[in-house]
Amino acid sequence: MNGTPPLAWDEDLECWVVADPRLARQVLNHPGFTSGTFERSFQLYMTEAAREEYHELTAFLRLWFVQADAPEHTALRRPVQRVMSASYVRSLAPRVEEITDECLDALAATVPHDVVPAVADGISGKVMAQVVGVAEPPEVLHRWARTLSLFIGAMYRRDYALEAHRTMVEMTEALSRATAPKAFPQETDEDRARTTATWAMNLFGGLETTSSLLASTVMDVLGEPTAWDAVREQRPGAVEEFVERVLRRRPPLRHLGRVVAHDQELAGERMRQGDLVLVSLTGEGLLEDSADAASTEAAATCPVTAETVTAETEQHLVFGFGPHYCVGAPLARLEAAVLLRRFAARFPDARLTDEAAVWGPNLSYVGLDHLYVDLGV
Ligand code: HEM
């Protein structure tokens, strides 16, 4: 824990930071902490004029069920969870393999060979397009996700709000033609707005996070000769075990937000209703702003390192904990496992180039902007 207190008030961010994994689980599974962080952030960080101007955007984001609490959350999540069932994810495997092969073709065809756009964004984008039933290419889907994520991270920025508003309009248009939302309520305007928001959230949820995992998986396996051998030799369990190791070592999301529902005491600290809470998923406090941490050096400079995460034996928090546990976790794991297998079979002599990894500047996501590889062919 490097001396980080389990719970502390951060003067700069004006919010609580929960660093201890056990306390994090408690907060993520406690009715005294609500998930409605967007609503609270609209109030805290947007001017009244901006709220008025972008009321359609705030209304759209307010409908994402990741922002709701029980019992509303439970009812809205159930049908999505049914769609994303284990058997559905298994049935997707052949399509994920095809998509992965297409993306590896694209990687081989572009010089320098950059894993991030061709493979990490490519696979996560095409797979989410398949799941939701939209026709847009990965570049467009990832642009949407990045634009929304910039606004969510800095709601006081009018330029981000404008871009996020445009994205919302484009996403709504695309989702009105998409296949998956057709099986969801469409009778009233309210139904349609909710259905669009639910699928926009699902699409958003599966893009940047999964792309980050996929790129980290390739980077780490090429940096670890023993693991690379085990994967190339197709040793039983090697791929799944390695993906889990990457998840622990490089969690794509660093923290989750919650809002204190009522005045209460936790870990000896007095918390007030409406206070924002950042729950660390890495077993650490907040890391330095990754604008400073952004680096062109390789794996060793990743802003989240193996040493900062919880013990191997403990269930990790990378996909969250409690009622909001990630509905896409099996899909993300499948994408990473398929990529490892296909990549090793196709490019067994691949290696990282010098200064292969370029980390992206983002405080809430940890991900690579570029990963340059020599394919050895
Ligand atoms: C490595 C990849 C991924 C990571 C690290 C990740 C992480 C997370 C985390 C930490 C949460 C909890 C949010 C909270 O408690 O506030 C979450 C929720 C969610 N994720 Fe993921 N996710 C990933 C992939 C996916 C994929 C592929 C999808 C879509 C297919 C997805 C869809 C969702 C949705 C819809 C929720 C909201 C669940 C709820 O509120 O009940 N995620 N994810």
Out of 181-185, 297-301, 353-357, which region has the weakest mean confidence (pLDDT)?
A: 297-301
CA dihedral over 291, 297, 299, 305, signed as positive or negative: negative
> What per-residue confidence (pLDDT) applies to 364?
66
Query: Is 365 in contact with 252 (CB distance < 8 Å)?
Result: yes
Six token digits for residue 42? 């609209």
Distance CA 69, CA 207 (A): 24
Task: Please state, in angstroms and as integers, the Cα–Cα distance from residue 353 to each residue in 222, 229, 250, 319, following that order.
Answer: 10, 19, 20, 31
Q: Are 45 and 57 in contact (CB under 8 A)?
A: no
> Looking at the DSSP assignment, which residues form a beta bridge with residue 368?
359
In the block, tokens 């546990």 appear at 325
- What is the per-residue pLDDT across 54-80, written as a single tens digit (0 to 9) for each? 999 999 999 999 999 999 999 999 999
Q: Which of 139-153, 240-254, 274-288 has the lowest mean pLDDT?
A: 274-288
Tell me the average pLDDT across 281-287. 72
- Residue 300 confidence (pLDDT): 36
Percent of the chain at pLDDT above 90?
86
Question: Is the Cβ atom of 19 under 6 angstroms away from ligand 1?
Answer: no
The finding on whether 201 has its CB within 6 A of some atom of ligand 1 is yes
Least confident of 153-157, 310-314, 356-360: 310-314
Ligand 1 site, residue 138, Cβ cutoff 6 A: no
Q: List for the chain the helix, strand, coil content (%; round to 5).
A: 55, 10, 30
> Does 252 sit in the ligand 1 pocket, CB within 6 Å?
yes
Closest CA to 367 of 254, 263, 257: 254
Nearest C-alpha neighbor of 367 from the set 210, 155, 221, 242: 210
pLDDT band at 4 (very low <50, low <70, confident <90, very high): confident
Going from the C-alpha of 143 to that of each of 140, 199, 361, the distances in angstroms are 5, 16, 15
Query: Taking the model in full, what pTM does it have?
Result: 0.93
- In the chain, the domains with their CATH numbers are 7-374 (1.10.630.10)
Residue nearest to atom 15 of ligand 1 (CA): 324
- Quick one: average pLDDT of 109-114? 97
Ligand 1 contact via 278 beta carbon (within 6 Å)? no
Kindly state the average pLDDT of the residues 349-359. Answer: 95
Ligand 1: distance of its center to the CA of 135 in Å?
A: 22
The pLDDT score that the predictor gives to residue 293 is 34
Q: What is the pLDDT of residue 363?
A: 56
pLDDT computed for residue 285 by the predictor: 65
